[in-house]
Amino acid sequence: MKALKSNNSKGAVLVIVAVSMTALLGLAGLAIDAGMGYGVKAKLNAALDAAGIAAAKASSSGASPDERKLNAKDAAERFFHANYPDGYLGSTPTFDAEKFNVATEQGRVIVDVSATAEEPTFFMRALGFDKLNVSAKARVIRQDLDMAFVVDNTGSLKPVGLKVVEAAETFIDKFNTETDRIALISFAYGAEVDVAIRKGFLRGFEKTGANGVITKINGYKNNFAGHTNFAEGFWRAREQLNSINEEDRSSLRVIVFFTDGAPNTFSSTFNFVNLAPPGDMFAGSVYTGSDPMSSRPPRGLWRYDKKQTEAAPPYDKEACFFCDIANEVPTLPTYYNVHDPDDTEFRILKDSPRQVTSVMNYVNVNRAARNLPEDMAEAARQQGIFVFTLGMGANITSPTGPDGEWGQDILLRMANDRRMKTDAAWAHLAKDYHADQPPGMYCRAANETELDACYDRLASAILRLSM
């Protein structure tokens, strides 16, 4: 006898298949909608990171704490929306302005930002979910900064002095008057500390008071004269940073060095042989002179602790100032010892990278003037100090000195710019890059109109290091 087939079993299978398909479609829809939600979350996080960094940078701008906080908030919103376009994956973002906060704590700027995004669902609507609400938040901490800012005050800058001053002032405005510490140094024949860095636990700097950084920079307008003593300006910068006790130093230490040429002057303590009593030592600065064939060989002395002041000469001023100093000082000192006669940290007489012998002549004075700032920059980097350099104009990309070098190459070495290793245009400097030392940055402004852009690049790089 044949068994009869039941239609009930077929119906049961269809029900099971239908229920299973609904569940599978629901799971697939959940996976797709959830995946889009994760994409929105990642975009929110990236946009908030950018917003927090922008706010930390903008927190330096403003005359009062309230104004600085408002500027930081505006920057955060602008950068958030720039990095999270409305409609991304169909979502609608909202920057949470009420929860935005910027605070100063133990020398650090702390920025808190948050946002939400409403994303419509597709497959999950079948389960009764019409939208997903995605939220994110971020905290950005900007570390405190100790910075020495060195500004060239030599005569070649006089025609563009006003723009040099304006660009330097704009650069200073990018830093936080409450948490950052800044020293200001200017140089020509010698160098002066126009604003000393604060010591101990004291933080911040004064911008516009009688001794403010911007006030002092503004005073440079009519004060461009003299020749180029890189080493003295850089020595003062390093000395300012190192004058702070180790336990009080910031986690980020930086030297920013601006010039429009190559070094041609250096300072030391010189032995004058034709004086009574013979062998008297005089500290000061010596200028290279024009060129090897010139009737104007090395000249001096100028004061090392003033930008454009003649040293009180140990000889008849009218007869010998601007004369061939080799008549009085036939040999160069062994060390850069202008601040301490017993100092042997930086050697003048050396075989490399440029050979300097003891004879007082154009070649040796010029090479010593170039060796010293490179050696000083390396010593600073070995202490964990980042060096940033800015060169302006055609002089830094013109061959000068007895070896026909570009001033730009010196600035690249001082900064320990990574591009010496990676950029084919600077392949001749690859051997001078020190991977074990902090990498800084060099920027070239072809003329004064490009100064602001270069300072912006340097400031952005410095502030990125502080995040």
Residue 222 confidence (pLDDT) above 90? no
Residue 160 confidence (pLDDT) above 80? yes
Q: What pLDDT shows up at residue 318?
A: 43
Q: What is the DSSP string of 131-187?
A: EEEEEEEEEEEEPPEEEEEEEE--GGGGGGHHHHHHHHHHHHTTS-TTT-EEEEEEE
Report for 26-30, 219-223, 407-411: range of highest mean pLDDT: 407-411
CB 287 within 8 Å of CB 302: yes
Residue 15 confidence (pLDDT) above 60? no
Residue 212 confidence (pLDDT) above 50? yes
Query: Residue 108: beta bridge partners?
Result: 105
- Tell me how far apart the alpha carbons of residues 130 and 43 are, in angstroms, rounded to a whole number: 21
Percent of the chain with pLDDT over 70: 84
CB 179 within 8 Å of CB 145: yes
- Tell me how far apart the alpha carbons of residues 345 and 36 are, in angstroms, rounded to a whole number: 61
Q: What pLDDT shows up at residue 238?
A: 98
Residue 290 confidence (pLDDT) above 70? no
Per the prediction, the chain carries an average pLDDT of 86
Which is it for strands 108-120 and 252-259: parallel, antiparallel or unpaired? unpaired
Of residues 337 and 1, more confidence is placed in: 337
Q: What pLDDT shows up at residue 86?
A: 85
Lowest mean pLDDT segment, chosen from 182-196, 285-299, 437-451: 285-299
User: Rg of the Cα trace of the chain?
Assistant: 32
Q: What pLDDT shows up at residue 53?
A: 85
Structural domains in the chain, CATH included, are: 24-142 (no CATH), 145-264+337-465 (3.40.50.410)
CB 279 within 8 Å of CB 295: no
Question: Which residues have C-beta within 8 Å of that of residue 299, sequence separation ≥ 6?
Answer: 286, 287, 289, 322, 323, 324, 325
Quick one: pLDDT band at residue 94, thresholds 50, 70, 90? very high
Q: What pLDDT shows up at residue 215?
A: 96
Q: What pLDDT shows up at residue 373?
A: 98
Q: What pLDDT shows up at residue 129?
A: 60
**SS3 readout for 67-108:** HHHHHHHHHHHHHHHHHCCCCHHHCEEEECCCCCEEEEECCE
Quick one: pLDDT band at residue 320, thresholds 50, 70, 90? very low
Quick one: pLDDT band at residue 316, thresholds 50, 70, 90? very low
Q: What pLDDT shows up at residue 314?
A: 55
Residue 6 confidence (pLDDT) above 90? no
Tens of pLDDT, residue by residue over 108-133, are 788 899 999 888 866 555 555 667 78
Of residues 446 and 104, more confidence is placed in: 446
Mean of the pLDDT values across residues 93-106? Answer: 87
Percent of the chain with pLDDT over 90: 56
* Strand (E) or helix (H) holding 116: strand 108-120
Tens of pLDDT, residue by residue over 321-330, are 445 677 778 8
Quick one: pLDDT band at residue 276, thresholds 50, 70, 90? low
Q: What pLDDT shows up at residue 125?
A: 58
